Amino acid sequence: MTRRRQIYEGKAKILYEGPEPGTIIQYFKDDATAFNAQKKGTISGKGVLNNRISEHLFTLLGTIGIPTHFIRRLNMREQLVRQVEIVPIEVVVRNVVAGSLAKRFGLEEGATLPRTILEYYYKDDALGDPLITDEHISAFGWATQDEMHDIADMAIRINDFMAGLFAGVGIRLVDFKLEFGRLFDGDFSRIILADEISPDGCRLWDLKTDEKLDKDRFRRDLGGEAEAYQEVARRLGLLTDGTVSTVLDMDEHRKSRGK
C-alpha cells in the first residue's frame, strides 16, 4: 500500500493519512524510549511484534463489546485505524505494586494490591506526564464526567478480560496503560479505545518466576528485550518458534529495500 501524508510521529509510532476519510495508518517503530523519552534506544523487531500483539488484543476486546479504533492489520508494521480525537489522559490500571507506585509510597514491588487501582496522567512529555485527579480533568475540560465514567468502566472491563487471558498463558498482568479517543458522528461523539496495547505499555511478568517480559527490560538495562517481546507473542499463539526468525527476517529484508 502506498503511504500517504505523514500526520504525526511519536515515540513508538508514525501516523499517516488513511486511504479513506476518517481513517489513519498506524506504523509501529522499533524505537524504544523510557522515562518520558530521556532514555532512547532500539529493540529489533519490536514494531512487528507490537503490531501483531496489539491487533490480537484489540480484536479480542472487540468481541466482548469494547469499542476500539482498530479496523485491520495491513502488513507487518502497519494497521488501519479509525481517526479519533485523543483524550489527553493516560489511564494506568494497576493490579500489582510496581514502578512509580512502589517508589511513591515506599511499597514492596510485587505485592498484590487489595483492589485494582486506576490512575490518570496528563499526556505531556515536557511536563513529565503528571499524575492528575478527577478534579483536574473536570476543571481543565479534558473530559466530561460522563466520558470519564465510560473510560473507567471500560478500563475495568479490559483489565478483567486481559488479566484472565494472560494468566491462561502463564503471565501476570501487573499493570498497563490505556488511551482513549472521541469518535465523532456529526455533533455526537463517543469514547472508544485507541492507541495500542503491547509490552511497551504493559508490565507482564512470568507467573512462576516473575521474569519481566516487557519494556522494563529496556528501562532497567536487563537485556533480552527482543526475546521477551517474542515470548509474549509466542504464548499468545501469534508466533511459533519456527516463524519468529522468518517474520523478522522478512521485515529486515523489506526495510533494506526501503519499504
Q: Mean pLDDT in each 10-residue stretch from start to end of the chain (259 residues)?
A: 80 95 97 83 95 98 98 97 98 98 96 97 94 98 98 98 98 98 94 98 97 96 95 93 56 56
Considering the domain architecture, whether residues 68 and 100 belong to the same structural domain is answered as no
Considering the domain architecture, whether residues 68 and 149 belong to the same structural domain is answered as no
> What is the reported pLDDT for 183?
98
Q: Is residue 202 assigned to a domain?
A: yes
> What is the reported pLDDT for 1?
46
CATH code for position 91? 3.30.470.20
Please answer whether residues 90 and 129 qualify as being in contact, where contact means their C-beta atoms are separated by less than 8 angstroms: yes
Please answer whether residues 34 and 28 qualify as being in contact, where contact means their C-beta atoms are separated by less than 8 angstroms: no
Q: How many other CB atoms are found less than 10 A from the CB of residue 188?
A: 8
Considering the domain architecture, whether residues 80 and 105 belong to the same structural domain is answered as no
Q: Is residue 234 assigned to a domain?
A: yes
Considering the domain architecture, whether residues 122 and 202 belong to the same structural domain is answered as yes
CA distance 80 to 71: 5
Its pTM stands at 0.91
CA distance 176 to 64: 19
One-letter amino acid identity for 194? Answer: A
> What is the reported pLDDT for 257?
58
Number of domains the chain is built from: 2
Domain holding 97, by residue range, is: 85-206
Considering the domain architecture, whether residues 37 and 142 belong to the same structural domain is answered as no
One-letter amino acid identity for 245? Answer: S
> What is the reported pLDDT for 43?
93
> What is the reported pLDDT for 85?
97
Considering the domain architecture, whether residues 93 and 189 belong to the same structural domain is answered as yes
- Scanning the structure block, which residue is given the C-alpha cell 528501562? 219
